[in-house]
Amino acid sequence: MNINNIRQVYLIGIGGIGMSALARYFRHSGCLVAGYDKTETDLTRRLVAEGITVNYNDDFEVVGDVFKTVDEHTLIIYTPAVPNELDILNRFQELGHTLFKRSQVLGLISQNKFTIAVAGTHGKTTTTALIAHILSDSGFGCSAFLGGISTNYNTNVLFSDNDVMVVEADEFDRSFLTLYPDIAVVTSADADHLDIYGDKGQLHDSFKLFLGQLHAQGKSIVKAGLPFNADVYYSAAGEADGYAENIRVKQGDFYFDFVYHGVKLADIRLGVPGRHNVENAVAAAIVARLLKIPAAKIISALSSFSGVKRRFEYIVKTEKAIYIDDYAHHPEELKAFFSAVKQLYPRKKLTAVFQPHLYSRTRDFAEGFAEALGMVDALLLMEIYPAREMPIKGVDSRMLLEKIAIEEKHVASPENVKEYVQNVRPELLVTVGAGNIDLLVKPLKSILEHEQ
């Protein structure tokens, strides 16, 4: 497959965050782009507004004939998240098309570029966005494929005339093994996706393979404490080649000093909150230093970085109510998020709405989830979002609720959540999860902004 010969692209599962970025990339490159997804969302509506056709019916007859031609100019991309029995998927295969996964196409796009790839079981989306923002804001420039919508640019893909590409490297389904980066960052490697890997050891083996695919003169940047060899280790707590120190909160903002190989950049204001984001910023700053971006431009970019949608995203911020939405769906992510919220608002009662993601993840990390969710003052626990899975006997939200050591806790439907917020009017509310909990954001925002 020569990516430069492509003239028309059809994406099966086009509404996914990674797939939509590819759709935008090929549309920007002048290709005819269309795709299928099961449901209409804000993201698919934006794709349509940008000139991309999206179909919501699993009907091959409505797929344009131009995409059915099997030749070097046609590319069919699919995400493993779509079911194998999907008619459109099978009909393309019956016609003789070679179907490419999203990760394979990223590999093809990046193979002739200077690639900065960011991997990790959590932290990778924000770190990727931070690196892309520093490079863009400083004038260095880059193309970028992000795993979320950048608040600074209101998109998940950036374009540049240079040959530098920043990409989020997804460990799910070993997708990141299609990449051969010049700079590789690993933010974390906590046990996750055990339905794919089986155990933590196999997950770590995949990360080692990823790091082993660095180009000969490439550089690896790894969070200190992870069991991987690296050229540079980083940390938010010293004991590394690059680290943060003097982390503090001033007037609601996080500040820190960045030290790399003995050189200090002092009093950096970070545009997003949380000690975990300070750590992400350290990794991004090291990448920028390797690329010889001036210190003043790094400091300026870190200050102007406004985050990623659904990563510590303020929805309501008034004197009466604070409402933050976050994508956290792993125990370690929840702990980092709740810690940041409590550090910013230590005197406010923290009410959390959490939607577990996957039966297998809930089962495998039930004790970790219980510990993390025990950090809040009041909990509304939604039913498990199944995503690609069938139910597992004995694994449900009530099982998890029993393990959580707080008094004010309930299993709640979306309607229960809206009713609770309407009646209680929490002073500090968070919604967290990776399923469809984001559908609650607009109605909860409306409730909290409406004066009683």
- 362-371 pLDDT, tens digit per residue, is 999 999 999 9
Query: How many CA atoms within 13 Å lie on the side-chain side of 313?
Result: 23
Q: What per-residue confidence (pLDDT) applies to 64? A: 93
Parse the chain into domains and list their residue ranges. Answer: 3-100, 113-304, 313-449
Please report where in the chains the tokens 């949380």 appear, as a residue: 274
Tell me if residue 253 falls in helix, strand or coil.
strand
On whether the CB atoms of residues 159 and 28 are closer than 8 A, the answer is: yes
User: Any residues with CB less than 8 A from the CB of 347 and at least 6 apart, and which?
Assistant: none
Percent of the chain surpassing pLDDT 90: 83
What pLDDT score does 348 carry? 96
The token pair that represents 136 in the structure block: 């863009």
Instruction: Output the pLDDT for position 200.
Output: 74
User: Are domains 3-100 and 113-304 of this chain identical in fold?
Assistant: no
Identity at 86, one-letter amino acid code: L
- Polymer length in residues for the chain: 452
Is it true that domain 313-449 has CATH number 3.40.50.720?
no
Can you list the residues of the chain whose pLDDT is less than 50?
none
Torsion angle of the four alpha carbons 195, 196, 197, 200, in this order, in degrees rounded to the nearest 10? -50
Helix H or strand E encompassing 124:
helix 124-137
Strand partners, 235: 243
Work out the burial of residue 446: count CB atoms within 10 Å of its CB; fewer than 13 is exposed, 13-18 middle, 19 or more buried.
Answer: exposed
* Architecture in CATH of 113-304: 3-Layer(aba) Sandwich (3.40)
Task: Give me the phi and psi of 390, to 5 degrees please.
Answer: -90, 155
Residue entry with tokens 């690993």: 186
Rounded (10°) CA dihedral 130, 188, 231, 111: -60
Contact 183, 290 (CB under 8 A): yes
Q: What is the pLDDT of residue 203?
A: 85
In Å, the largest CA–CA distance within the chain is 63
Give residue 325's pLDDT. Answer: 96
Q: Report pLDDT for 196.
A: 66
Strands 350-355 and 8-12: unpaired
pLDDT at 88: 96
- Architecture of 3-100 per CATH? 3-Layer(aba) Sandwich (3.40)
Q: What is the pTM of this model?
A: 0.86
